[in-house]
Chain A
Amino acid sequence: MGAGATNIDHIVISSNDSAATAQLFSENFGFPIKRTMSRPGTRAHLEFAKLDEVVLEFAGPGEVKPYDEVKSRIGGLVLAVTDIDAAVAAVRAAGYECGEAHPAIQPGAKIATVKSGTGGVPFAFIQYNAIPQESPA
């Protein structure tokens, strides 16, 4: 039984200056930055661009020090699934560790992190529309 992935949802690019890396990618590759956010409580600064349907998430510290050199690397992969509980069960049935699905930053979405068997690749599943959202009054 597979995990039922439908597509790559996003790829994380980790950087010691996520804003600078996002800007460089935007300039060099023409990916417009769609959104920026600083995550409260995590001291992280995130910027998002789109490569066709795949989101590039540039993640870095909230406070940037005066680095000699901005360095980045591919920092993780998130696959979209239609049933995250089934995906978690499939990973566990295959003998690997997977955390429980929990609410993601994205409204209505749940995310679960695969914790073993990924060959050193930070790896997670995300399901959109997993949590009913209240419609605006």
Chain B
Amino acid sequence: MAKGRIRPAKLAEAIANHLETLILEGSLRPGDRLLAERDLAQKLDVSRPSLREALDLLEARGLLEGRKAGTYVAPVLGESFSATLVDMLHNRPECTYDYLEFRGFVEGAAAYFAALRASEVDRELIHKHFAAIEAAHTKLAPTDEADADASFHLAVYEASHNVMLLHVMGSLAGMLRDDVFYNRERLYTRKGVRDLLLEQHRAVHDAVMRGDPEAARTAAEAHVTFTRSALLEIDKADSDLELSLRRLATPETETNEGTNHAG
């Protein structure tokens, strides 16, 4: 609000605000390493002392960290946001299904808004990541495919143009990449799953590209619901297998209970 007092912003303050906006809108992501001071000063066309002062300001606000060995964008939701989730998942692996339940709803909304709001540049990016999924799929490279998968979803969050959604879902996507919620390879190497996931990503991609919010929401929700059921099935199959292995290891108990649990 105009107070009638006009003061030129200090250069350092203006630089800090600029970088802050880049972090808020996701143009700089948590974990990104900034250019060395000299290069960054050149890039922004400002003096090094002003830049250094700006970086100090941002560090004090908790937006940058690790100034000694290179300057990194801090996790904007705070360290404890993911640390708490990691603990939770470690203590109670079944929280994975809570994660997928929550994500299903938000993923649907993200795709809905992406279909509604994606700019030309957003669309190109979404398309590029989908093409990468397809390429990895054909090459039978599950790790590449899983990474392209994560990038594809992040591009959808960006295209939703909601910074709150972007930061929350972006930080969950980062954890997904680290296999915090489930082992992605276990999912991807399961027979038939990869083909189905590819078709689901295609459905989200197509709906966003043609700007159909309702179809995008339905496709994104179906995708996460499928992931959830697939993981449940894998968990169940694994524990069935474990059970039969235990029974094989102790044959005397097997005779009592029969063999109908195999597989």
Q: Do A and B bind each other?
A: no
